[in-house]
Structure 1
Amino acid sequence: MSHVLVTGSSDGIGRETARQLLAGGHEVTGHARNAARADELRAALPGVRGVVVGDLASLSETRALAEQAAAAGPVDAVIHNAGIGGGEPTRVETADGLERIFQVNVVAPYLLTALLPRPERLVYLTSGLQEDGVAELDDLQYAARPWHGMQAYSDSKLHDVVLAFAVARLWPDVLSTTVDPGWIKTKLGGPDAWDEVDEGAATQVWLATSDDAGARVTGEYLKRHEVQVPNPLARDIAVQDGLLDRLAALTGVTLPR
């Protein structure tokens, strides 16, 4: 039995991930953006061990979330599921002065990775759109480039792969992987999506808990339990180190080496 923290687990793929983990006999600490959504999660999945609360669009709330999760006891795995899509018609900044997609999809999982006690396994959700992502390290937040919401989303999903691979390289004692869940029928996926939510959760549940040889990989990008070929930028050590340096500067927190 494993204890797994799942971010963004109040609905969609995250909730289904938590449900599958519970059905497999594992312990789950869920996460919700606010107290109301935490209550919804507890009602939907009364078997959860606990729910930590924090808005990932806020640096202070993300730090507080890390403190709550650490206090809830050690976890064997963290599934960084939470994220937002690329439907923003204009560039939006959070109260921290950071572009919102970048903050939620990239800064938050970096900060949680750096602040939480090191688990045995880390799983980061990405998207097939990581293939279209670019790594403009000197303009990660579209401060200078013309705004394009879906490109910003694609970039963020590439950055998640870069982060997962960087952690795999720097933390050889941790299995760090990234998963494309597919185009899933959720609020984020939209009405035209064709993959069912159970399919979108199964691979990360397997990676977080299974002792199968295929699940005990690190520094890999998977979909439907199979290793895929990532955007080649993700394996570029200069890109990895450059992203980590910029995230450390933005957050004031350096990933422990």
Structure 2
Amino acid sequence: MSKIFITGSSDGIGLQTAKELIKLGHEVVLHARNEKKVIELKSYLKNTNKILVGDLTSIYETKQLANEINSLGIFDTIIHNAGVFKNDKSEIFKVNVLAPYILTACVKKPKKIIYIGSNMHPQGVVDLDNLSIENGVDYSTSKLLLSIFSLALSKKWKNVLVNTVDPGWVKTKMANYEAPDSLEDGSNTQVWLTSHKSFKDTGKYFHHLKEIRYCDIVYDEEIQKSLIEKIEKITNIYI
């Protein structure tokens, strides 16, 4: 049995991933944005899984969430599932890029880290000179930056398995309920990466249980290095 923490697990793909991992007997700690979400989440689950609360649009609350995670000990896997799509650019940057970075830097190293990417990442633009909380980024760029960070981290942290998953276009409120992929489609890869102890790959990008390739810019080592340096300056948190 593994000990797993999943951000953004009060609904959608995050909740589906949690449910599947719980069925397999894993200890899953969930995350909700606020107490209202906690109440909703408890109505979905019939067990006593622990739920941590933190609004990832707030850097302060994200740091506090990191402290709460650390108070529970070391996790086997952390899945950075939380994400926003149609919010303003500043919120997209904080939730989709800064929150995963802050939690990664501030939480005790797990055995595995999984970031949730997107097949929209090739449409993103890297403009580190103008990267700031005030300017924010669009969704595609947020997922491009997260992919770059994931690959950079996989090389920097040799003792942690770091991978990214494109869950597909899934029937959720964030995407579109007319989307072709089911919640199960969107969660299967995370469950697979988490549950298989023999899995030793790192620095990979997966879609529906198969390894695929990032767009070319993700593999640029100078951009990887520069992005981490930029985010370190923005957050004053060093990884």
Normalization by structure 2: what TM-score? 0.95
Matched, 1:197 2:197: no
The residue that corresponds to 1:167 in the other structure is 153
**Are the counterparts in 2 of residues 126 and 160 from structure 1 also a CA contact under 8 Å?**
yes
Q: CA deviation at 1:70?
A: 0.9
Q: CA RMSD in A?
A: 1.7
Code of the aligned partner of 1:192: E
Q: CA deviation at 1:241?
A: 1.2
Q: CA deviation at 1:142?
A: 8.7
The residue that corresponds to 1:20 in the other structure is 20
Q: CA deviation at 1:137?
A: 1.0
Q: CA deviation at 1:216?
A: 2.5
Contiguous gaps of at least 5 residues in structure 2? none
Equivalent residue pairs, number: 239
Instruction: Determine helix, strand or coil for the equivalent of 1:179.
Output: strand
The residue that corresponds to 1:105 in the other structure is 96
Separation in structure 1 between the aligned mates of residue 111 and residue 25 of structure 2, nearest angstrom: 18
Matched, 1:82 2:82: yes
Code of the aligned partner of 1:175: L
Q: For 2:172, which of 182, 186, 204 is the aligned residue?
A: 186
- Pairing of 1:27-38 with structure 2 (within 5 A): 27-38=27-38
**Are the counterparts in 2 of residues 105 and 160 from structure 1 also a CA contact under 8 Å?**
yes
Code of the aligned partner of 2:219: R
* Per-residue CA distance 1:127-156 (angstroms, 9 max, x = gap): 100121221111234967xx9xxx711010
Q: For 1:120, which of 94, 111, 131 is the aligned residue?
A: 111
Code of the aligned partner of 2:154: A
**Are the counterparts in 1 of residues 170 and 177 from structure 2 also a CA contact under 8 Å?**
no
Contiguous gaps of at least 5 residues in structure 1? 93-98
Q: CA deviation at 1:228?
A: 0.5
Separation in structure 1 between the aligned mates of residue 68 and residue 48 of structure 2, nearest angstrom: 15
Code of the aligned partner of 2:2: S
Normalization by structure 1: what TM-score? 0.88
Instruction: Determine helix, strand or coil for the equivalent of 2:177.
Output: coil
Instruction: Check 1:20–1:236 CA distance in 2 against 1; reply closer, same or farther (3 A cut).
Output: same
The residue that corresponds to 1:240 in the other structure is 224
Code of the aligned partner of 1:179: V
* Per-residue CA distance 1:72-113 (angstroms, 9 max, x = gap): 22210000000000x34xx55xxxxxx111111000000000
Code of the aligned partner of 1:40: E
Instruction: Determine helix, strand or coil for the equivalent of 2:224.
Output: helix
Separation in structure 1 between the aligned mates of residue 161 and residue 48 of structure 2, nearest angstrom: 24
